[in-house]
Structure 1
Amino acid sequence: MIVSLEQQKEYYQALITKNRAYDGIFYAGIKTTGIFCHASCTARKPKFENCEFYKTAQEALLAGYRPCKICRPLSFPQMIPEEVQLLVDAVEEQPEKRWKEADFSKLGLHSASARRKFKEVYQMTFVQYARARRMGIAFKEIKKGSKVVDQQLEVGYESASGFNDAFSKIMGNPAKKVVGTPLIASFISIPIGRMLCLADENYLYLLEFEDRRGLELEIEKLRSKYNFRILYGQTLISKQVEQQLNEYFARKRMTFSIPLFYDGTDFQKKVWRELELIPAGNTRSYQEIAIRLGDRNKVRAVGRANGLNKIAIIIPCHRVIGQNGQLTGYAGGLARKKYLLDLEK
């Protein structure tokens, strides 16, 4: 969520004065230490230019910050249950880890109970938390343009290996050795969040909300399949994407002219091109699309192809709804889907 300059100044004043009334209202990311804090944190206060402000803890995690050990921002508004704190500590020890049911047992926890308590405390699932931490680390390193692991202590690691794994497992840039064709990553802020853009000088390969479920797997598969390495920067294509998205949200544009790379089967590509034919302000059901493609029995296949779309908004999978007219699953979240449909109307 974008924080205005006026709000940033207000939040900074609250941070400087340790105003408890703002605890839980915002989270301050400190660039020099890599941590995020409550307003009332007693740690030494940074300069204004070294602060970034977020409305939720998940946004701070996705930006690559880790929770402060002094003010424990993830404990607001109550003390964390012991099993939840155990999970938080475990994530910090191995932020690159992908959790399985057996991992809860190793910690002596009952999976369902621990997950439920985690959701009650943080208003996000444990999986979302762990994913945000992994992605945050990788995104932070992309923004730095890092290729060599030389700042692991700054971001909270006692050894280089964990830091390297968290980045390279997702983005494929092994320390001290970079191979493969470059794909350039950039971040685009829009009114409903922030998007990750992957492009080269010829095509747009991926445009997704940074908190989309399964995003890291999409990136891994894409780079592994085509031997890409991910670097941070801008290309002519990514600049065009940002410009056209800004025009879209300003209601000055409802169609896009970006060269796209369609990574999928022949059938999936047909579905995606059919999505592009849905006019702004209109919707189609999965069955209508299946019929247009010549086989009304391929509703589920259409649904799968719709879910595998890697280029959100520009390939408008948000314009596909259920047969009964209800909004159905959208990787960016139903609230965003509704926002986009309302915008286009």
Structure 2
Amino acid sequence: MTHGTHPLHCNRRQLLALAAGAAASGPLAVLAQIPTSFATRPVRVVVPFAAGGATDVITRVLGERMAQRFGQSVVVDNKPGGGGVIAGEAVAKSAPDGLTALLGTTSTMLSNRYIFKKMPFDPLTDMTPLVRVCLAPIALVVTADVPAQNMQEFMAWIKAHKGKLSYGSYGIGSHGQLACSTLSEVAGADMAHVAYRGEAPMVADLLGGQVKIGMGSLLSLKAHIDSGKLRALAVTGPRRVPLLPDTPTFAEAGFKQDALSIVGWLAIAAPKGLPADVARQWAEAANSAVASREGMARIIAAGFIPVDDDTPAKFAQAWAQEGPIWGRLLQAAGVQPT
């Protein structure tokens, strides 16, 4: 009896060959893809909105795929209210062990600190930025009876109607307000701001003709753009949105002011003090989930731009740079902290 092919007597080359063959098929193939994880029990992702909204749905889709990576289930914990402060505080005051994270928006992670006088935590200093999962541009729309077909015609139209027009946004301090306020200032149009409690009532008034100009998410506006009731003129951010490929960015249309160039995002953050290796695992899991067929499809359908190559370092840099910009924009728009 020879022992040359028995695993206990293989040489190093034979052992590596056997291991490679086993890893390529059967259960070992799965095990070989799963890194050592920090997740010793279910992972909780807190969402600052009610169940059923775009952020919640995207979180659940990504959570299913991240669970495979972590080797633990991912539980979505909806904590709406307080402009996102309730959810943010719950995460900021959790243990920095990687088992609790926030999937929130630019508002809940950045601009809230400039909107509220007193917050129970500071997003910029009490949280660890992990990764952005998508960019969240908004679109400028006008009603079908507005004669402007592009941004140049729009600016000429609002200038010619100085002091007679109003625009709608989904709330005081919203990106829509900041962008339209900038356009009004550039054109010298003196437009009035109509702040709605969310996008649904704003869209209802656009369709009813109470306002002729508005800015909001593509998720809320796309069906009405497709029907011809609203016309999209431009979108914020650095590149066109997959859901509206024929609509230019403001920069392409010649407008490069901060309020029109900057873009919101959906992103994941954890409590301050999260170990770097755990932050890296979160980023890798999120990037992989976004890159999946289901992740990409859901994000694009919601009117967002998928981001599947972010890192904690890149996100931290963007977070630090963009915070003061949102602060300046809010101040310029006359938004007073409450």
What TM-score, normalized to structure 1? 0.24
What TM-score, normalized to structure 2? 0.24
Bigger radius of gyration: 2
Of structures 1 and 2, the one scoring higher in RCO (CA 8 A, sep 6+) is 2
* Larger proportion of strand: 2
